[in-house]
């Protein structure tokens, strides 16, 4: 297969990735709704370690465990912002404070 063939394959994988990332975001929003009625914080370091351990255990390569961790740090960072907006509505004054966390890092 030539480069253009591999890129078509990547585009196909990317559409599936986007769909799964959205499926994950929907679950995160649901958890955010449930958290409104509890004292659970948005940032739960133990749960985040559990998430990383789960993907690393299922990892068959060629990505290194560390590569997956780097990607998941960003995924969880984005998902945390979404959950924050679910708990603190957009139009509340507190929501503006959280904007800083969701800025582009690079």
Q: Where on the chain is the footprint of a second copy (CB under 8 A)?
A: 1-3, 6-7, 9-11, 13-31, 34-35, 38, 40, 47, 51, 54-55, 58-63, 67-68, 70-75, 77-78, 81-82, 104-106
Tell me the closest approach of the beta carbon of residue 61 to a second copy, in angstroms.
6
Compare residues 20 and 94 and give the one whose CB is closer to a second copy. Answer: 20
Compare residues 13 and 94 and give the one whose CB is closer to a second copy. Answer: 13
Tokens of 25: 């975001």
Give the separation between CA 59 and CA 53, rounded to whole angstroms.
10
Q: How many CA atoms lie within 13 A of 47 on its CB side?
A: 9
Q: Are 83 and 33 in contact (CB under 8 A)?
A: no
Tell me the closest approach of the beta carbon of residue 94 to a second copy, in angstroms.
20
Q: 41: phi > 0 → left, psi -120 to 50 → alpha, else beta; which?
A: beta
Tell me the closest approach of the beta carbon of residue 67 to a second copy, in angstroms.
5
């Amino acid at each position: 297969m030539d480069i253009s063939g591999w890129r078509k394959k990547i585009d196909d994988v990317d559409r599936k990735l986007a769909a799964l990332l959205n499926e994950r975001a929907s679950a995160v929003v649901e958890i955010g709704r449930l958290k409104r009625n509890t004292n659970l914080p948005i940032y739960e370091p133990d749960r985040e370690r559990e998430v990383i351990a789960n993907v690393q255990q299922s990892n068959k390569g060629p990505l290194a465990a560390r590569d997956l961790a780097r990607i998941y740090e960003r995924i969880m960072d984005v998902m945390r912002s979404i959950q924050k907006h679910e708990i603190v509505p957009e139009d509340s004054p507190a929501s503006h404070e959280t904007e800083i966390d969701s800025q582009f890092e690079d």
